[in-house]
Amino acid sequence: SQTIHQWPATLVQPVGSPLSLECTVEGTSNPNLYWYRQAAGRGLQLLFYSVGIGQISSEVPQNLSASRPQDRQFILSSKKLLLSDSGFYLCAWRRGGLETQYFGPGTRLLVL
């Protein structure tokens, strides 16, 4: 069966510090991968998606970037965090050609 991991689970970072969040998927190959952010009191916003290694599409202009160095690894990064980057970050995967996305446990980021 397939599983999706995210780490860290919780992160507290000062403004201006760098960020690296990791997402990995097990039990499948060539998944489509997604990063979402859930800000307090708001719904989920798609940040990035990837259909293959090195292929990243950005949905909204922002302080964040994403990379996919390996088939089942998706990384969310920032060079300098802003207060507004605080939120709950969710990674999701789906098998190409199928419609359902499956979500990881999430990373809660607090920028102080």
By CB under 8 A, name the binding residues for other proteins.
6, 32, 34, 42-46, 49, 51, 57, 59, 90, 92, 94, 99-106, 108
**CA dihedral (65, 40, 82, 13) positive or negative:** negative
19 vs 91 by CB, closer to other proteins: 91
Output the smallest distance, CB 48 to other proteins, in A: 11
CA dist., res. 110 & res. 60, Å (int)? 20
CA dist., res. 72 & res. 39, Å (int)? 26
Output the smallest distance, CB 80 to other proteins, in A: 27
